[in-house]
Amino acid sequence: MKRLITAWLLFAGAWAAAQTFAQAPSMPRFRFQNFTTADGLPDNHVFAVLVDGERVWAGTENGLGLYENHRWRTFSAQDGLAHRAVLSLALDPRTGDVWAGTMGGLSRISAGRIDSYTQLNSGLSNNIVYGVSVEGEDVWVATAAGGCRLNLRTGAWSLYNERNTPMTEIWTYGVSATPTKVYYAVWGSGVLEFDQNTHVWDKYDDPDGENELVLFRDQGLIHEIVTSVSYVDGILWVATYFGDSRYDGRYWHNFLTKDSGLPSNFTNFIKGVDATHAWFCTDKGLAYFDGVNWAVYRPSLADGRPEMTVRDGAGKATAILVTTAPAHNYILGIDFQGPDIWVATAKGLSHGIRQP
């Protein structure tokens, strides 16, 4: 009799878990494979990740890692890297060159050769490079002393700061360049927009001007302290330390933990997939938004166990049974490899393998 009761309890638990998942919106599930220094990663603190076909680059606190053919290789300052701490990464799709923004300059990795640009040997505005984006012949750079642009055909540099743009602060934290628009995330000065056709700058500010509170919902950019921007399919996705925003060129929509599925308002990085889907890298987990529903992937903040939560458009949250999670809940970056994701965290790099 005791065995029958035990069997029934196990069946009931499995059936309840299946029903819970069935009632939740269909959201992507992943099996996470986590990499650390024990696997060959240069350092466990991963600032940025870049997918280049079958190759994966990881910008870490102690070198640039390349994962290829199931093995890690490290590029360091001894190999020509501008600095050991790599903060940002970008791919030139025309040439296959990888651009790495570091704490000591900007480096280009091309066919195994590394060339570095600094304030001393080039027109780079500052050696601390928080963001880099390649569009056509231009490399757009976000630094601690404004933005700049390198034209690869002419070798000419252009500098952008408070003297020739609407920015009031010059600490640029990220950049997203496309053929039509270039957007800068400016710390304490909102979002800067450059029109590629007219060469005219514009600026988006927090309309309430309040640095501690969000007073007016959906009336504009959610906050002045902008950490990341992503422009995809005519939609601007914006990350700040006080919530996130989506702008379609006419209307703003803001996201906060109190009225969305965000696990935290403190967002380090944002990456749009298309006009409705985006990923949010926060200090309390990785969030995915499909335009209506949310999913959060993380180790539990309470006990570190793998956790996935789905929140539907009505605000109902459902826990999904999972056995793996990203290496840490402090998420710093993300990139895509087909249906898979690669996630940069404060304690390792994670490969999210999409499950059926």
Q: What is the pTM of this model?
A: 0.92
Q: Are 47 and 60 in contact (CB under 8 A)?
A: yes
At residue 15, the pLDDT reads 37
At residue 97, the pLDDT reads 98
At residue 5, the pLDDT reads 38
At residue 219, the pLDDT reads 81
Q: Minimal CA–CA distance to 306: which of 320, 288, 289?
A: 320
At residue 235, the pLDDT reads 98
Contacts of 232 (CB under 8 A, 6+ apart): 272, 273, 274, 275
At residue 154, the pLDDT reads 98
Joined tokens for residue 92: 């030139």
At residue 24, the pLDDT reads 79
Read off the pLDDT of each residue in 174-187 and give the average, rounded to a whole number. 98
At residue 4, the pLDDT reads 39
215 pLDDT band (50/70/90 cuts)?
A: low
pLDDT at 309 over 60: yes
3 pLDDT band (50/70/90 cuts)?
A: very low
pLDDT at 352 over 90: yes
At residue 23, the pLDDT reads 63
At residue 9, the pLDDT reads 37
pLDDT at 89 over 50: yes
Read off the pLDDT of each residue in 185-191 and give the average, rounded to a whole number. 96
pLDDT at 122 over 50: yes
- pLDDT, tens only, 26-68: 999 999 999 999 999 999 999 999 999 999 999 999 999 999 9
- pLDDT, tens only, 238-249: 999 999 999 999
As a whole-number percent, the residues of the chain with pLDDT over 70 amount to 91
Q: Are 236 and 251 in contact (CB under 8 A)?
A: no
At residue 303, the pLDDT reads 97
Average pLDDT, the chain: 92
Q: How far is CA 154 from CA 127, 131, 150, 182, in A?
A: 21, 22, 9, 20
Q: Order of strands, edge to edge, in the sheet holding 201-204?
A: 172-177, 181-186, 190-195, 201-204
The CATH number of domain 27-355, selected from 3.30.750.24, 2.130.10.10, 3.30.70.2970, 3.40.718.10: 2.130.10.10
Instruction: State CA 227 to chain mean position distance.
Output: 10
Read off the pLDDT of each residue in 272-279 and give the average, rounded to a whole number. 98
At residue 328, the pLDDT reads 98
pLDDT at 112 over 90: no
pLDDT at 212 over 60: no
Cα distance between residue 67 and residue 55, in whole Å: 6
At residue 216, the pLDDT reads 65
Q: How far is CA 201 from CA 119, 142, 146, 204, 211, in A?
A: 25, 16, 14, 10, 24
Show me where the domains of the chain are located: 27-355
At residue 206, the pLDDT reads 87
213 pLDDT band (50/70/90 cuts)?
A: low
